[in-house]
Structure formats: C-alpha cells, structure tokens
Chains A and B, each alone.
Chain A
Amino acid sequence: MQQRITWPRRAFAAAGALVTAALLSSQPALAHHGWGGYLEKTTDISGTVESPVSLAGPHATMKIRAGDGQVWDVVLAPPARTERAGLKEGMIPLGAQVTVHGNRHRDPKRLEIKTSRLTWNGQTFNVYPDRS
C-alpha cells in the first residue's frame, strides 16, 4: 500500500519538471500562432475586394486581387476584435479598392497576409493597434 503511493508522486514530479523545462527552453515558440507562421518584416498590398470581409471562424478573413492579378488571403484579427476595430461584414463592397498592411506568410508560395491594418475609402481599421 505505502509503496504504491510513491509511483504517482514520482510521475507528477517528472511531468512537472518536463513541463517547466519545455516552458523555459521554448519561450519564443509559444508566441501566438497568429504571428509565428509569418515573416518579421511588414508588407503593404493594394487591391480590389475579391471576397468580402467574413467575421466567421478563428480569424476574420477576406480576399483581395492585387494589381498583378494575384488573389491574396487576408487574415485579420479574431472576429470580435475585428468588429471592435470598426470593421463589419457587408461594409466594404466587392470590387472596392483597399490597402492592407501586415506580415506575409513564411511560405513564399502562399499568398497570405496576416493583417494589422486595413485602409479603405480614407478610413483605417487598426485591428492590431499595438503592431507596427
């Protein structure tokens, strides 16, 4: 009886040590995955709205067609945060000219930009105001 009790205790101590070690060694990797997969440097892309703002899913999204004809996936903030920044569904019509500012996906073949600011019709929607 007495000896059995030591097994879980030792297991918990080992698990605790492992978790602590993992936390200490991988601090940067724990950053929110919303930015981890994107380049550090920022990019601006201007284009026309191909698919309007959608406040559904883990992040609000839209698609824009750039001047060179390429269609970009624009990933905004989580829906509630995007809406608090003033950007609502149905606000920006299809074909409207917009500029997005943010960070490109690390995979150069993937036309995806994690967007911190969107400008349309003289208005700027700062969905991540703490980012440059």
Chain B
Amino acid sequence: MAWLEGSALGHAMRHSGPWTYAIVNLAHILGVSSLFGAVVILDLRLLGVWKRIPLAPLTDAASAVAIIGFAVAATSGLGLIATKATEYIGNPFLYVKFPAIAAGVTNAVALRFTSAWRARAIRELSEDERRRLAWTGAASLVCWLTAVAAGRLIAYW
C-alpha cells in the first residue's frame, strides 16, 4: 500500500488539481455500473429468465459491455486507491471486495471454457449444460453483488 501511494500514479492523483479524484471517481462509477448492469442481464439469462431471447447474441452483447466496464473500473479504481493507499489498511470492506472480484473474474473466465458456453451459438444445449450455466450465473451474481456492496461501503468505514 505504501508502495502504491508512493508510485507515480499516486503522485499524479494527488498533484494534478482538486478535480482529479472526482473525475476518476466518475469514471469508476461509469465502469462499475456498465459492468454490473451487463452482468445482471447476463446472469439472469443464464438462470433462465427471458428464455425467448436467444442465448448467444444476448450473452455476446452483455459480456462485451461487462468486459469493457471491468477494464474502466479496474483502471480508475487503481488510481482512486493509489491516492491515499495507506488509509485503506485495516478497512474490512476492502478485504471482502477484492476476494469477491477475484472470485467473480475466475467464475467468468471458467464460464468461457465450458462446453455449454462454446456450443451456445451452434446447437441446443442439454438440460445438464443449462443447469451448469444457471449455477455459474448464480455464483456470478453473488460475487458481483458482494464486490459492489463492499466497494461502496469502503467509504463509510
């Protein structure tokens, strides 16, 4: 944390005008909201909601928005935390948020390697494959809800 605060990024965040943090914070919110909104649609579809919308095009669009949202949130988030990194030591919400993000990313990467995901545009999925997708969607919802909630609560500790 001390290293992050002392880094060039931390220095830039602290010494480039009074609006820097606010603007980077705005980028973080845009990133998080895009990520979370897309993930909710994706996960609900995996759980079997909106079955009349074909799986492949919906998941393509939602996962693209989620990935871009994640990239924006992660980049801006690094800047936010680097500003006064040492102040977050001991903040319990941080120790909930980052494991939840790690679990959410692992879950999303694992999803891409499943037979169901790879076959979703080519053929009808089996009952078993659909059930596996539903479990992945449920796990994803839990991970990202936890990450967003813990992330917001960092400011209130």
Contacts and interface: CB of A to CB of B under 8 A. Distances in A.
In this complex, the interface size class of chain B, counting residues with CB under 8 Å from chain A, is: 10 to 19
B156 A58 contact: no
Interface in B69-103: 83-84
A78 interface: yes
Contact of A1 (B21, B52, B83): B52
A83 B51 CA distance: 54
In this complex, the interface size class of chain A, counting residues with CB under 8 Å from chain B, is: 10 to 19
Interface in A43-101: 54-58, 60-61, 78-80, 82-83
Interface string A1-36: 100100110000000000000000000000001001
Of residues A54, A56, A83, which shows the largest number of chain B Cβ atoms within 10 Å of its Cβ? A56
A56 B52 contact: no
Nearest to A11: B49
A83 B84 contact: no
Given A37-B156, A57-B83, A57-B84, A80 B18 contact: yes
B14 A54 contact: yes
Contacts of B51: 4
A7 B156 contact: no
Contacts of A78: 18, 22
A56 B21 contact: yes
A79 B14 CA distance: 11
B15 interface: yes
A125 B62 CA distance: 49
Given A7-B49, A56-B83, A58-B155, A79 B19 contact: yes
A4 B45 CA distance: 13
Contact of B25 (A33, A36, A56, A58): A58
Contacts of B25: 58
A128 B74 CA distance: 33
A117 B92 CA distance: 31
B13 interface: yes
